[in-house]
Amino acid sequence: MIALMKRDLQLALRSGGGFGLSLAFFLIVVMFVPFGVGPESGVLARIAPGILWIGALLSCLLSLDRIFQLDYEDGSLDLLTTAPLPMEGIVAMKALAHWLTTGLPLTLAAPVLGFLLSLPSEGYLWIFLSLAVGTPALSFLGTFGAAITVGLKRGGLLLSLLVLPLYIPTLIFGAQSVTLVVEGQTNTSAFLILAAISLFTFALIPFAAARALRVNLR
How many distinct structural domains can be found in the chain?
A: 1
Q: pLDDT tens, 66-83?
A: 787 777 766 677 677 676
pLDDT for residue 1: 62
- Average pLDDT (51-57) is 94
Q: Give the global pTM.
A: 0.89
Cα–Cα distances (Å) from 27 to 20, 110, 113, 120, in that order, read 11, 9, 7, 19
Amino acid type, 95: A
pLDDT for residue 78: 66
Q: pLDDT tens, 4-28?
A: 666 666 666 666 555 678 888 999 9
Best CA proximity match to 96, nearest among 135, 54, 62: 135
Best CA proximity match to 77, nearest among 153, 127, 5, 151: 151
Domain ranges, residue 104 = 2-216
Best CA proximity match to 37, nearest among 22, 17, 54, 13: 54
Best CA proximity match to 56, nearest among 94, 91, 105, 100: 105
Alpha-carbon span 126 to 133, nearest angstrom:
10
Q: Is the pLDDT of residue 196 over 80?
A: yes
Amino acid type, 152: L
Number of Cβ atoms within 10 Å of the Cβ of 72: 18
CB of 142 closer than 8 Å to CB of 163: yes
